[in-house]
Structure 1
């Protein structure tokens, strides 16, 4: 409503001046138009409101044949001065806000990088790389998570997406990653590692506090875990997350689960306990990609989704994991025009032995 007030005032002045009610002194109302716009509309809105006020002032002065009066010139002078002051003030405020937003955003990204450390370039039988991109220009910490570790059971990875943003989402990321990093080394069953992450989130939601309440309200975390043992397979546990992709001999295969499982935090929706990992072929030369929906749901100007599978085929398997993710980053920038609507987290591994 506040954004429309300057234009409502200008319209009121126009009606008064073009009707028998023009005996009412409207100078203060018209002068207030750019001042109000400077508060709620920014520099461009201030210029638009000032231009509208100027047009109305010229129109009413001509209609009422008042060009020879001192009042008209006084109103013009006041309107000009207030418009200039409003534009300069709104520009300064906008610049300060952008600076503060950028500073907060840098702090948020730095805090996120502390939790989301890059994965090692070599993990047992695979080469690996990770990518994390923040969406848009908002200074909010996202809820994407990833990790890859080498254990006695093989290389284990997780990629997940906490619903929502902000400190509560980042707290949930820390809880899930903490549970994964601990249990991945001693829990033999990959599904049980996932269950430990879910249990950790439930414990965090049960602790009194504003962040815990927000976690309870947000409700769930989608996640996928993958394990690469010595055998030429990859084992996957998927809890409501986009299916991993495998590039094998120039073709991409989605590792779709045989049955759908609920995200972490929504286990009460199913009557049975989530089952065992599912195995898929994964041989030397294959490439495995785990990602969040910020990749596949990225849209271009025509509202088309990002073609991730086609992009994997086009890039091939000749690049290193890090080079591939750099090219993927550039492809996302080209597709979206540099304006991501959601955060992105990706882990890529190549089987080399």
Structure 2
């Protein structure tokens, strides 16, 4: 507020000390005009009134207020001050409406992509989401976790498309996962159920979206038992995670990669299976989406994720995710071409694991997954009661 007030004082004093025939009073219109940049309608009106008073004072000193020239100057200054007040009023109304829209948008987006707990069973979890669209908190890269008996199930996906246009399919996938994660004992069967859900969603209103047949969602499903140093994953066209162990970064390769979710009607090209690998106390898994792998700098160089993760491999999950996020933004100069999601999961050193030999556990987990494959594909009667208790299966596997 010092700027317009000082402007009024300086112009008034300059006019008083200026030679006869030189009138600086019309410059007073700058005071209310400048005030609209940072003040509301009341303060703008106050500055306009002060400028009008100064103009009246200058007019009275040089020939009287009743002259046609001074009347025109006063009328113009008054009209501009009123217009400035109206501009401030309309602008503030729009700002309030925009603030309400942003508040509703943020609440809706946070309700869809809920913050993950830092601790879940024996696991430490940290996540990060970078939306490609400005003012957006989420887009088409959903992730979620679910606790089922004595294990944790995780999903991370990537909807075809980006930004807010992909939120609908992301919301559908998260809802389907939270429900189906508690109904299917085998991980690959859970993936099949999600595939059918996505397909139904995409084809429910074909007339509303002519490109519905071309939509799909890549996904990675992960299952981590509490008391076994193993993890199982089912890959549906999604990038496989990075395993960090003793400061060394290794890409987990899956021997079987199934098509993305939503391609159920195309037929069983590749049957979904659950791949088991060792996941010891102190190990960290980094899950990510294509937006991280395909991020480019101004020279079109891809972001070297595995190389950059190796520089902070001994960090905690929270520090690891924060480092990769900041490094990714620095690499792209803040201009992401796609949504990017990161999810770090570390098994606690205090986790109470089984005393079985690790090789037996991994072999048993794989054998257990193959048994599930045979059981789920066979057109047999309903599963026996033991299949409804995945906790006992986890202890065996």
TMscore range, shorter length: 0.5 to 0.7
Where does residue 334 of structure 1 map in the other structure? 330
CA distance, structure 2, for counterparts of residue 105 and residue 143 of structure 1: 19
CA distance, structure 2, for counterparts of residue 312 and residue 168 of structure 1: 31
CA distance, structure 2, for counterparts of residue 106 and residue 214 of structure 1: 32
Where does residue 182 of structure 1 map in the other structure? 179
Stretches of structure 1 that go unaligned for 5 or more consecutive residues are 1-94
Q: What displacement does 1:313 show?
A: 1.2
Q: What displacement does 1:112 show?
A: 2.4
Task: Tell me whether 1:253 sits opposite 2:250 in the alignment.
Answer: yes
Where does residue 240 of structure 1 map in the other structure? 237
In structure 1, the residue corresponding to 2:273 is in which secondary structure?
Answer: coil
Match of 2:347 among 323, 344, 351: 351
Give the TM-score, by structure 2 length. 0.59
In structure 2, the residue corresponding to 1:290 is in which secondary structure?
Answer: strand
Where does residue 171 of structure 1 map in the other structure? 168
CA distance, structure 1, for counterparts of residue 235 and residue 326 of structure 2: 28
Where does residue 150 of structure 1 map in the other structure? 147
Stretches of structure 2 that go unaligned for 5 or more consecutive residues are 1-90, 352-397
Please give the residue correspondences for 1:1-353 in structure 2 after superposition, counting only pairs within 5 Å: 108-137=105-134, 142-165=139-162, 169-208=166-205, 213=209, 216-229=212-225, 230-269=227-266, 271-272=268-269, 274-317=271-314, 319-352=315-348, 353=351
Change (3 A) 1:106 1:329: farther
Deviations 1:79-122 (A, max 9, x none): xxxxxxxxxxxxxxxx9xxx899987776554322211111111
CA distance, structure 1, for counterparts of residue 277 and residue 305 of structure 2: 20
Deviations 1:35-74 (A, max 9, x none): xxxxxxxxxxxxxxxxxxxxxxxxxxxxxxxxxxxxxxxx
- My pick for the range that moved more, 322-331 or 121-130, is 322-331
Change (3 A) 1:255 1:140: same
Change (3 A) 1:102 1:218: farther
Give the TM-score, by structure 1 length. 0.65
- My pick for the range that moved more, 135-144 or 176-185, is 135-144
CA distance, structure 2, for counterparts of residue 114 and residue 254 of structure 1: 32
- Higher Cα radius of gyration: 2
Deviations 1:132-188 (A, max 9, x none): 111143869621100012221511100001102466522211111111111212311
Contact 1:257/1:278 (8 A) holds in 2: yes
CA distance, structure 2, for counterparts of residue 208 and residue 340 of structure 1: 31
In structure 2, the residue corresponding to 1:298 is in which secondary structure?
Answer: coil
Where does residue 62 of structure 1 map in the other structure? none
CA distance, structure 2, for counterparts of residue 122 and residue 140 of structure 1: 23
Contact 2:249/2:313 (8 A) holds in 1: no
CA distance, structure 1, for counterparts of residue 343 and residue 117 of structure 2: 11
In structure 2, the residue corresponding to 1:315 is in which secondary structure?
Answer: coil
CA distance, structure 2, for counterparts of residue 161 and residue 336 of structure 1: 20
Contact 1:141/1:169 (8 A) holds in 2: no
Contact 2:163/2:339 (8 A) holds in 1: no
CA distance, structure 1, for counterparts of residue 272 and residue 195 of structure 2: 14
Change (3 A) 1:270 1:166: same
CA distance, structure 2, for counterparts of residue 175 and residue 344 of structure 1: 19
Where does residue 392 of structure 2 map in the other structure? none
Contact 1:247/1:287 (8 A) holds in 2: yes
Where does residue 6 of structure 1 map in the other structure? none
CA distance, structure 1, for counterparts of residue 210 and residue 107 of structure 2: 22
